[in-house]
Every structure is written in structure tokens, then in C-alpha cells.
Amino acid sequence: MLRLGNREFGAHEPVIMAIVNRTPDSFYDQGATFRDEPALARVEQAVADGAAIIDIGGVKAGPGEEVSAEEEARRTVGFVAEVRKRFPDVVISVDTWRHEVGEAVCEAGADVLNDAWGGVDPRLAEVAARYGAGLVCTHAGGAEPRTRPHRVTYDDVVDDILRVTLGLAERAVELGVRRDAIMIDPGHDFGKNTRHSLEATRRLEEMTRAVPRALGFPRAGDTPLPVLVSLSNKDFVGETLDRPVKERLLGTLATTAVSAWLGAQVYRVHEVAETRQVLDMVATIAGHRPPAVARRGLA
């Protein structure tokens, strides 16, 4: 069971996390939701299309203009409060690695802190524990925030992903973060080249089936932690198919289907409606969801 905000999600329930970038230079939408009204319209459409979580980010993941913690908070805190007011049942996540921003957005109503840079600020998990917020524990290969990988190597990338993400989760539980509010993320493209991200996808079942207790994770019970994947239009998709950012949807959806079959639960995406159909189809094939309509051959 995954519990975030006032929502509960069953073990086989796929969950969509819609991306809303409060940045003027995001790699995908180039600032389309930087202003409040377009961003709020994006939230409304995402919820209507089936997103249960809205992930709000105030800093572009890649290199670019310096954004201070104060500026990141200015871009996100008021918006979190407005989304909380307009959409009381939606789960609000904020993509940040800074504890100061985490504190401010939790005060404004955020339910989840999405730590995409792998615990580079260890105080962020402390904030999640203090506010009863969920936490995403991500593998970033030790990379500094907003840097691109350069000649990065691993003896075994999946072993490293498991070691790091489960270690971050263990620490979070020790600090007081609820186990049923923790997700682990292999961190596609973060501290990885394309072959690393492809291997992480191919071997995702090792992550979705891993029982943390086997790696020394206390009080873990017998079930794996939910796995979040952030695949949407990423460079590993683009390099695999040799496609620019705006032509990566089909590759993203194919990777989403594979990840769903291998057991991932949460999907951080730009295209919500298309992802919803893919996840519903995979869930139905797997026997976790009935067909929406079943008339063929019955009349």
C-alpha cells in the first residue's frame, strides 16, 4: 500500500505523476507553464486525464542559469498553496533537492518531496519526516545537481541503484518517514549514459521485487517499496531512437509499457492521457484491471 496525502493506492494500482515545470527554460515545454494561469490549466487538464499526483518543479534539471533557493521557493511555494486550494484531493509533489525549499512547500501544503538528486542534501529527508510527507529516493550516481554525466562507469549499475536507493530509504525510515510514503527511483539519465538507463529498464524487476529487509533495511516487512520511473521524453529514449525531444512520445510509451509489466507503480510524465491508456492496457493484460467494456462475442 502506498499512502500519499489523503490518497491510498493499492499494490497493483498504477499511479500517474504529472509534471508541471515552473521554470522558463525546461527542456521539454520551454517555459509553457512558467506563468500561473497556464500552469493551473495544466494541473486541471492533468487531473482530468487521470493524474493522481502533480509534481511541481522550480529548477530545470540540466545545466543553465543559476537558481537560488529563494528564487526556487518563489516559483513553487505560492503555486503549491493555490493548487492545494483548488484541488484539495490531488497529491502534490515538489521536485527539489534543497531542504529550505522542502520546508517551505510542505508548509504550503505539499504531500511529497521528490528528491531527484539522490540525497545530496541529507536534511531534505528530515523535512519529510517532520511534516509527514512522502519521499522519493533516487539514484543519481553521486552527481551534483544540474550536471550531466561524463564518462560515468559502474561495475553493475543495477546493483548500485539498489544499494543507493534502499540505503536512502533505510535512512528515511530511521528519521521517521513512513515506509508506506517512500518510493524509490532508478533515476534514468541522472548520472547515467543511455546504456545504463536501458539496462536499468531491462532489469527493473530486480528493483520492483527487491525486499529491502534482505539488504539490511529494518522494519521493512515483506513487501518491496513502490518504484517510481521518470521516463518521459528523456535523452536515453532520444538516443535509442535518434529522435529530438518533441518526437520521443512513442519511445516513452514503449518504455512505460515495459516498466509497467516489470512492476513499476508510479510514472512521472508529460503526456498524461496517453500514459493512462498504456498503463490501463498493461494492467488489464496482467489481470489487475477488467476491460472498460466487454461486449465482443457476448451478443
Q: Which numeric CATH code is attached to 2-285? A: 3.20.20.20
pLDDT of residue 100: 98
Q: Which residues does 92 contact at the CB level (< 8 Å), separation at least 6? A: 5, 53, 54, 56, 80, 83, 84, 109, 110, 111, 112
Q: How many other β-carbons are positioned within 10 Å of the β-carbon of residue 41? A: 11
Sign (positive or negative) of CA dihedral 9, 15, 16, 22: positive
Show me where the domains of the chain are located.
2-285
- How many angstroms separate the CA atoms of 147 and 263, rounded? 29
Nearest to 17 by CA among 94, 85, 83, 117: 94
Per-residue pLDDT of the chain (299 residues; tens, 9 = 90+): 899 999 999 999 999 999 999 999 887 887 899 999 999 999 999 999 999 999 999 999 999 989 999 999 999 999 999 999 999 999 999 999 999 999 999 999 999 999 999 999 999 999 999 999 999 999 999 999 999 999 999 999 999 999 999 999 999 999 999 999 999 999 999 999 999 999 999 999 999 998 665 444 544 456 899 999 999 999 999 999 999 999 999 999 999 999 999 999 999 999 999 999 999 999 999 999 999 999 999 97
Q: Which residues does 294 contact at the CB level (< 8 Å), separation at least 6? A: none
- How many angstroms separate the CA atoms of 101 and 76, rounded? 9
Beta bridge partners of 95: 57, 114
Q: How many other β-carbons are positioned within 10 Å of the β-carbon of residue 46? A: 26
Q: Which residues does 274 contact at the CB level (< 8 Å), separation at least 6? A: 249, 253
Beta bridge partners of 228: 266
pLDDT of residue 223: 82
pLDDT of residue 6: 96
pLDDT of residue 211: 65
Predicted model pTM: 0.95
- How many angstroms separate the CA atoms of 89 and 205, rounded? 31
pLDDT of residue 31: 81
- How many angstroms separate the CA atoms of 261 and 150, rounded? 31
pLDDT of residue 222: 63
